[in-house]
Amino acid sequence: MKTRKLRLSLSLFSVLFLALSLAWGAYSAQLPLSGSPGLANLPDLYEASIAELQAGLEQGHFTSVDLVTAYLARIEEVNLQGPALRAIIETNSMALAIARALDVERYASGPRGPLHGIPIIVKDNIATVAGEGMNTTAGSFALFNSVVPRDAHVVTKLRAAGAIILGKANLSEWSHARGDLPSGWSARGGQCSSPYVPQGDPSGSSSGSAVSTAIGLAAAALGTETDGSIVFPCSRGNLVGIKPTVGLTSRAGVIPISSHQDTVGPMARSVADAAVLLSALAGQDERDNYTLAQPSVVPDYTLALKRDGLKGVRLGVPRRRLAGLNEAVAVAFNASLDTMRRLGATIVDPAELVNHEEFEMYSKSNETAVMRTDLKVDLKRYIAGLLAVPSGVKDLADLVAYNIAHADEELVEPYWTDQSVLTSALNATVDQDYFDAIVMNRDIGGKRGIDATLRTLNLSALIMPSMVASTPASVAGYPIVAVPLGFLPATAILSPATPVRDVGPNQPFGLSFVGTAFSEFDLISYAYAYEQATHTRLKMRAYPDAIPKTQLVDVVGKRRQAVLE
């Protein structure tokens, strides 16, 4: 009975879909002819905001099919060819069909919301259904052709909001939990590099998500962070990143490092875009019980986008964490404090972590103790949930053995041979030391760290250059919102390529706002006020070869030509 009903409604749907497709086909054929403004005024995909793209789609200036076509061409230009940035591991062969269906739906019943028909890239550790043809591997051949049971919860939410999953981003293999490897390298994706410094280190582990967002290979991307993996590549990618509170966004369907620290967040070219995405991603999920601790109503984070967001806000500078920073970063950071004062903020400087000594002495060792056991336990649990794993790998020990057996692909000379993080976790155990470290980790970063500091000095948030901002928030499970801060000078020394260059001229760096649990709304308002007053991202573009040439005008123009002929 049920099946027949389903079949009936499916066939009704097909007829409806066909009718709409025909109507839409007739309509869309003349789109470019009636399309105003002129082709020259279509948004530049290097910088286009989600709102701009949505407006163009709504006004019929271009379609989601056009957008996907243009983005795929841009990927083709720079991913393996030209500068060979290796930001993308796989593109979605169904993206055009999905875009067409969403175009038809828009024509029939209007957009679902701000993400309807907007192409987004997700890191390769975030599951996408196998039926769509894309793998989910964290960059490793050990998970090649593994079959995930379903989309990751965050992907389900993106699709429900109408977003198009355009492809899977390259990353530091296993999200940098394999060993001491150059950031942005994975066996499946090769070595990703920065679009700002030729052969430059893109940082990681969400390297490809950052690179593809930085130069407009999609509207935005998802990354994941355990300690620094969103914030660092956003810093080097001249981007906005949100590392949400652990438990705000579900990790169900995400290849894990640590259930205590992993979190999924947006990487975007503006605070507004990141806020739109976070509103779609956040929410409870019964498959990730950490999410049940979040406030029951997900805020509309776009309501935090206020230009006066820094007025009357007290922000603290934990100076001792800033020791030894590059001079250009230190100068830009100090200048940002003046900007924030001008915008009405009170800067408390210094505002040291009240447990600074304890933090410096013990946070890394406690964090490592938690991560080792988590990696072993959580990875095994993830693999056990897969429907098929052709490599036969079941746990960490199998994975280490797999890498040795496939050393030609996985332990590649000369730079990519290490798997010491995996081997160091082999003997990890779930014991009292582990439970103690979990509590310590939380308390050193949270209760006795960030929270005590905010309370003692009556602060709303801490501010730091992004490259030193991650660990307190990561071990506490607290949020970070990062924005562009500046660029190394043109005279900066270009370091040797081993195989990526650590620093170079024009390399971007970021500024991070760090707060207590679930303070994303406030952090977004501070970041937005700062961004709107500075627009740092717009002050430097990628090096010329790393900027894809294909624009909407080429795609829409070609379609117009075809209609005229």
Ligand X SMILES: *[C@@H]1O[C@H](CO)[C@@H](O)[C@H](O)[C@H]1NC(C)=O
Residues acting as catalytic residues: 123, 205, 229
Spatial CA neighbour of 218 closest among 89, 48, 94, 380 = 48
For residue 431, CA distances in Å to 54, 366, 374, 397, 443 come to 51, 14, 12, 19, 19
Of the pair 300, 308, the CB lying nearest ligand X is at 308
- In this complex, which beta carbon is closest to ligand X, that of residue 383 or of residue 553? 383
> Which position among 110, 149, 312, 344 is part of the footprint of ligand X (CB under 6 A)?
312
Reported in sequence order, the residue ranges of 160-239 that DSSP labels E, i.e. its strands, are: 164-169, 185-186, 190-191, 220-225
For residues 458 and 561, which CB has a smaller minimum distance to ligand X in the complex? 458
150 binds ligand X (CB under 6 A): no
Q: Work out how close the CB of 289 gets to ligand X at its nearest, in angstroms, rounded to a whole number.
A: 4
Which three-class secondary structure state does DSSP give residue 208?
helix
Stretch that binds ligand X, among 61-69, 391-399, 407-415, 419-427 (CB under 6 A): 419-427
Query: Segment 47-66, which members bind ligand X (CB under 6 A)?
Result: none
Q: For tokens 């790998």, what's the residue? A: 393
Cβ contacts of residue 45 below 8 Å, gap of 6+?
70, 71, 74, 216, 548, 550, 551, 552
Contact status: 130 vs ligand X (CB under 6 A): yes
- CB 178, min distance to ligand X, A: 15
**Nearest alpha-carbon partner for 537 in 512, 510, 564:** 510
Complex with ligand X: residue 424 or 532, whichever CB lies closer: 424
Token digits of residue 377: 């336990």
Is residue 90 near ligand X by the rule CB under 6 A?
yes
Counting contacts by CB under 6 A, is residue 502 touching ligand X? no
Q: Does 303 bind ligand X (CB under 6 A)?
A: no
* CB contact set of 508 (below 8 Å; sequence gap of 6+): 196, 235, 236, 237, 238, 484, 486, 487, 540
Query: Residue 114: is the preceding peptide bond cis (ω within 30°)?
Result: no
CB contact set of 48 (below 8 Å; sequence gap of 6+): 216, 219
Do residues 126 and 225 make contact, with C-beta atoms less than 8 angstroms apart? no
Residue count, binding to ligand X (CB under 6 A):
38
Nearer to ligand X, 11 or 427 (CB): 427
Q: Per CB under 6 A, which region of 61-69, 205-213, 329-337, 379-387 contacts ligand X?
A: 329-337
- For residue 167, give both structure tokens: 């492809």
Closest approach, Cβ 384 to ligand X, in A, equals 13
Q: Select the residue interacting with ligand X from 31, 70, 89, 345 (CB under 6 A).
A: 89
Does residue 334 touch ligand X according to CB under 6 A?
Answer: yes
Of 440, 423, 290, 422, nearest to 362 by C-alpha is 440
- Residue 326 binds to ligand X (criterion: CB under 6 A): no
**Euclidean distance between CA atoms 316 and 312, whole angstroms:** 13
Reference 479, options 446, 437, 453; nearest CA is: 446
* Strand duo 220-225 + 119-123: pairing: parallel
Residue 59 vs 458, nearer CB to ligand X? 458
Helices H, strands E: what count in the chain? Answer: 18, 13
Burial class of 352 by CB neighbour count within 10 A (0 to 12, 13 to 18, 19+) = middle
- Residue 162 CB, shortest distance to ligand X, in Å, is 23
List the x/- string, 359-398, binding to ligand X by CB under 6 A: ---x--xx--x-----------------------------
How many other C-beta atoms can be found within 10 angstroms of the C-beta atom of residue 431?
10
Minimum distance, C-beta of residue 461 to ligand X, in the bound complex (Å): 11
Contact window for ligand X (CB under 6 A) among 17-25, 200-208, 286-294, 406-414: 286-294
* Cβ atoms within 10 Å, residue 36: 9
State the nearest-atom distance from the C-beta of 135 to ligand X, in Å. Answer: 4
From residue 342 to residue 361, the character string flagging contacts with ligand X as x (rule: CB under 6 A) and all else as - is -------x--------x---
- Phi-psi group of 520: left, alpha or beta (phi > 0 → left; psi -120 to 50 → alpha; rest → beta): alpha
**84 lies in the site for ligand X, by CB under 6 A:** no
Give the residue with the Cβ less far from ligand X, 88 or 469.
88
Within positions 421 to 480, which residues make up the interface with ligand X, using CB under 6 A?
A: 423-424, 426-427, 437, 440, 444, 458
Contact residue for ligand X among 80, 97, 401, 405 (CB under 6 A)? 80
One residue of 135, 206, 284, 466 binding ligand X per CB under 6 A: 135
Name the residue nearer to ligand X (CB basis): 239 or 370. Answer: 370
Is residue 252 a contact residue for ligand X (CB under 6 A)?
no
Chain positions contacting ligand X, by CB under 6 A: 79-80, 86, 88-91, 130, 133-135, 145, 147, 189-190, 289-290, 293, 312, 314, 327, 330-331, 334, 349, 358, 362, 365-366, 369, 423-424, 426-427, 437, 440, 444, 458
